[in-house]
């Protein structure tokens, strides 16, 4: 143990600034992870051993109160004289600890980013592939033709590309080209036993001289869930580390939040284990997609609020990329002001279209918030998986208004 004069936690050391020692909170969480319940005195002694310094009473009290406010610590106090006060980690803190989302975890932000992308994007979207050999596709997804049941068929008109129009005037000595016909048939099959969605796309081409027609068939198929490799690939502006992705999926498996669904091309794919959580994540993904579109249009005219800016910065791996994004939006706002000042008609028509989109989303957002969308419809899901609060409060500025905060995400740390 160091001498008092060299103690980093003394009041003399704290006079240099308003410093909060993350190291103390980390030690408290580590000690109570090994020993479920300790008295105040025992816990303080164990933490001081880990920190290799004495902790002043005032500093110790500040840290305990803060961790209680964050719902990290459970205080057992009988309020009787000469009775010891005991501390333990709350179930909420244990869940965050197991998922590496505690504020004291140095990898917290990285894992929060991975879970946000995983639960509210990639695992919902799945991965889509294309091919023209149905037998090979069925072999890859562990299915057979007997599993293919038509769900519905859609016929869609298509526009012929401009480059084909001149072919009608080509002289006969040229090879007769084929031109796509203005009809497209999409056959949607019901999901296979493993949840793979297959769409058969059929198009037709006609020889413009001999009028004989050729049928072309291709397939797109969406494999459910996500693999570690999918998760570790660059996702827009976010570049997760492969080791962190592997660790995150392993932690989710231990808590039975995800489960393996199939092997595809030698890689295991995972889906959300709880169907109710899957429905919740799907609707939230849909809402966040609309919200992102709304914000991208809004920021071309208005300065983003603090919460809006933080929600977008969260998914940038590098600060320079984040700055470039908002600098581009600032340039768009300047161009918008100039165009409105010069009364540019084309720009004003575009502005009217964007304004209609903004009004449409705003009506939807207000309707959902009035219904207290998440608190009522998915109250049990939020209670069952409290870690979702942290993700929602960051990725969705609108929904963060109605999610009760269980912790303080803006603590000052050292």
| Cα 310 to Cα 271: distance, rounded to the nearest angstrom | 28
Query: Does the residue 96 lie in any domain?
Result: no
pLDDT (0 to 100) of residue 188 = 94
313 shares its domain with 383: yes
204 shares its domain with 307: no
pLDDT (0 to 100) of residue 290 = 81
| Cα 278 to Cα 374: distance, rounded to the nearest angstrom | 14
pLDDT (0 to 100) of residue 298 = 82
pLDDT band at 413 (very low <50, low <70, confident <90, very high): very low
| Residue 26, helix vs strand vs coil | helix
Residue 323 has pLDDT above 50, yes or no: yes
Which residues, 6 or more positions from 200, have their beta carbon under 8 angstroms from its beta carbon? 134, 186, 187, 189, 217, 218, 219
Please say which residue of 223, 240, 266 terminates a domain: 223
| Cα 11 to Cα 173: distance, rounded to the nearest angstrom | 95
Query: Looking at residues 359-377, what average pLDDT do you find?
Result: 69
Number of domains present in the structure of the chain: 3
Q: Which domain holds residue 61?
A: 4-89
Least confident of 156-160, 256-260, 330-334, 379-383: 156-160
pLDDT (0 to 100) of residue 150 = 94
Model confidence over 186-233: pLDDT tens digits?
999 999 999 999 999 998 888 777 777 788 899 999 999 999 998 887
What does the block give as tokens for 64? 């305990």
Tell me the sheet residues that pair with 184.
Answer: 156, 203
pLDDT band at 410 (very low <50, low <70, confident <90, very high): very low
pLDDT (0 to 100) of residue 102 = 94
358 shares its domain with 388: yes
- Counting beta carbons within 10 angstroms of the beta carbon of residue 238, is it exposed (0 to 12), middle (13 to 18) or buried (19 or more)? middle
C-alpha angle 63/93/109, rounded to 5°?
85
218 shares its domain with 234: no
Least confident of 165-179, 243-257, 260-274, 310-324: 165-179
Bridge pairing between strands 86-89 and 73-76: antiparallel
Query: Does the residue 318 lie in any domain?
Result: yes
Residue 100 has pLDDT above 70, yes or no: yes
Query: Does the residue 321 lie in any domain?
Result: yes
Instruction: Between 175 and 307, name the one with better pLDDT.
Output: 307
Phi-psi region of 187 (alpha: psi -120 to 50; beta: other; left: phi over 0): beta
161 shares its domain with 300: no
246 shares its domain with 355: yes
| Cα 23 to Cα 59: distance, rounded to the nearest angstrom | 12
Query: Looking at residues 228-241, what average pLDDT do you find?
Result: 77
| Cα 281 to Cα 286: distance, rounded to the nearest angstrom | 9
Could you say which DSSP state residue 118 is in? Answer: I
Query: Looking at residues 11-21, what average pLDDT do you find?
Result: 58
Please say which residue of 169, 190, 223 terminates a domain: 223
pLDDT (0 to 100) of residue 152 = 93
- Evaluated on CA atoms 278, 284, 287, 291, the torsion sign reads negative
The string of DSSP letters for 325-360 reads: HHHHHHHHHHHHHHHHHTT-HHHHHHHHHHHHHHHH
Instruction: Decide if 59 contacts 19 (C-beta within 8 A).
Output: no
The candidate with the shortest Cα–Cα distance to 58, out of 24, 81, 87, is 24
Helices (H) and strands (E) in the chain, counts: 17, 10
Query: Looking at residues 103-114, what average pLDDT do you find?
Result: 91
Query: Looking at residues 288-298, what average pLDDT do you find?
Result: 83
pLDDT band at 4 (very low <50, low <70, confident <90, very high): very low
User: Please, which contacts does 207-213 make with residues 24 or more away whose CB atoms are closer than 8 Å?
Assistant: 207/176, 207/177, 207/178, 208/167, 208/168, 208/176, 208/177, 208/178, 208/179, 209/172, 209/176, 210/176, 213/181
Residue 276 has pLDDT above 80, yes or no: yes
Residue 12 has pLDDT above 60, yes or no: no
388 shares its domain with 323: yes
pLDDT (0 to 100) of residue 337 = 75
| Cα 391 to Cα 232: distance, rounded to the nearest angstrom | 19
Model confidence over 31-51: pLDDT tens digits?
999 999 999 999 999 999 999
- Counting beta carbons within 10 angstroms of the beta carbon of residue 364, is it exposed (0 to 12), middle (13 to 18) or buried (19 or more)? middle
pLDDT > 90: percent of the chain: 42
Model confidence over 71-96: pLDDT tens digits?
999 999 876 777 889 999 999 999 99
| Cα 290 to Cα 297: distance, rounded to the nearest angstrom | 11
Residue 162 has pLDDT above 50, yes or no: no
| Residue 188, helix vs strand vs coil | strand
pLDDT (0 to 100) of residue 405 = 55
299 shares its domain with 216: no
- Give CA separation, 175 vs 15, 170, 172, 178, in Å: 87, 9, 7, 10
Query: Does the residue 412 lie in any domain?
Result: no
Query: Looking at residues 45-68, what average pLDDT do you find?
Result: 92
pLDDT (0 to 100) of residue 351 = 63
pLDDT band at 411 (very low <50, low <70, confident <90, very high): very low
Query: Looking at residues 11-36, what average pLDDT do you find?
Result: 79
Instruction: Between 333 and 209, name the one with better pLDDT.
Output: 333
Q: Which domain CATH number covers 65?
A: 1.10.10.10
264 shares its domain with 198: no
pLDDT (0 to 100) of residue 249 = 94
pLDDT band at 370 (very low <50, low <70, confident <90, very high): low
371 shares its domain with 269: yes
| Residue 314, helix vs strand vs coil | coil
Query: Does the residue 173 lie in any domain?
Result: yes
pLDDT (0 to 100) of residue 333 = 82
What does the block give as tokens for 320? 């320079």
């Amino acid at each position: 143990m160091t001498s008092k004069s060299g103690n980093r936690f003394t009041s003399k050391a704290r006079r240099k600034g308003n410093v909060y020692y993350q190291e103390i909170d980390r030690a408290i969480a580590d000690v109570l992870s090994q020993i479920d319940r300790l008295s105040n005195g025992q816990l303080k002694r164990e933490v001081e051993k880990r920190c290799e310094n004495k902790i002043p009473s005032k500093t110790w009290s500040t840290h305990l109160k803060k961790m209680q406010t964050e719902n990290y610590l459970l205080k057992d106090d009988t309020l009787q004289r000469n009775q010891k006060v005991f501390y333990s980690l709350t179930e909420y803190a244990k869940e965050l600890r197991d998922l590496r989302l505690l504020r004291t975890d140095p990898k917290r932000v990285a894992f929060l980013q991975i879970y946000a992308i995983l639960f509210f994007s990639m695992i919902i979207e799945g991965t889509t592939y294309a091919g023209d050999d149905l037998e090979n596709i069925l072999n890859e997804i562990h299915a057979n033709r007997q599993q293919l049941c038509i769900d519905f068929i859609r016929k869609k008109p298509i526009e012929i590309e401009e480059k084909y129009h001149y072919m009608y005037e080509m002289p006969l000595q040229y090879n007769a080209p084929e031109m796509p016909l203005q009809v497209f048939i999409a056959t949607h099959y019901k999901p296979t036993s493993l949840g793979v969605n297959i769409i058969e796309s059929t198009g037709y081409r006609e020889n413009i001289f001999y009028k004989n027609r050729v049928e072309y068939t291709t397939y797109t198929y969406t494999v459910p869930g996500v693999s570690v490799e999918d998760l570790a690939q660059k996702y827009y502006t976010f570049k997760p580390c492969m080791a962190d992705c592997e660790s995150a999926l392993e932690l989710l498996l231990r808590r039975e939040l995800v489960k393996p669904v199939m092997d595809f091309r030698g890689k295991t794919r995972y889906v959300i284990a709880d169907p109710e959580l899957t429905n919740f994540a799907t609707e939230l993904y849909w809402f966040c997609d609309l919200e992102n579109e709304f914000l991208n249009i809004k920021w071309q005219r208005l300065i983003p609020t603090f919460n809006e800016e933080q929600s977008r910065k969260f998914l940038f791996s590098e600060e320079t990329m984040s700055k470039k994004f908002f600098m581009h939006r600032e340039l768009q706002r300047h161009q918008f002001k100039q165009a409105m000042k010069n009364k540019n008609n084309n720009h004003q028509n575009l502005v009217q279209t964007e304004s209609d989109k903004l009004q449409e989303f705003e009506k939807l957002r207000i309707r959902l918030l009035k219904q207290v969308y998440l608190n009522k419809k998915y109250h049990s899901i939020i209670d069952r998986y409290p870690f979702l609060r942290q993700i929602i409060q960051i990725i969705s500025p609108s929904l963060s208004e109605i999610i009760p905060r269980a912790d303080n995400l803006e603590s000052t740390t050292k």
